[in-house]
Structure 1
Amino acid sequence: MTQLPAFDEIAAAHGHRCPGIAIGYKMAKAAAKWAGDAPVTVYATTTRCPLDALRHTFGLTDETLTIEDKGELH
């Protein structure tokens, strides 16, 4: 399983603590558990806070992150 950074590290990288980072952190924990040692690819429909937690946790790059910003997180 991917070693998760501490929540405080993710919040610091994002710039502040907020509900979106908390949601993203929970998503990252679930994804890491589900994926095990396999690489993680993310398809996102928003560029909001939860995505920062996933981006920081998995070190996502242009090859492993696809964003189609539909602004679905309100």
Structure 2
Amino acid sequence: MDTKNTIKPAKKCYSHIGGKLGELLLETFADKKWIAKNDPSNKHFYITELGEKEFAKLGVDLSKIKSEAI
């Protein structure tokens, strides 16, 4: 089997997921309202209360994310 044509890459960019997978995750989390922005022109998202609950269900440890003032 030629895996070069069947593997879907997940790119790591510094300390985060980049590439198409990162883009799809961002879009999905925003669509599900797990993440949101205070201002549409801002590039920064925050994790919503719903997101906190849903990420916890997936086993994502949000305590590893440093809090920032928004």
How high is the TM-score relative to the length of structure 1?
0.28
The structure whose residues are more often strand, as a share, is 2
The structure whose residues are more often helix, as a share, is 1
Considering Cα pairs closer than 8 Å and 6+ residues apart, tell me whether 1 or 2 has the greater RCO.
1
Bigger Rg over Cα: 2
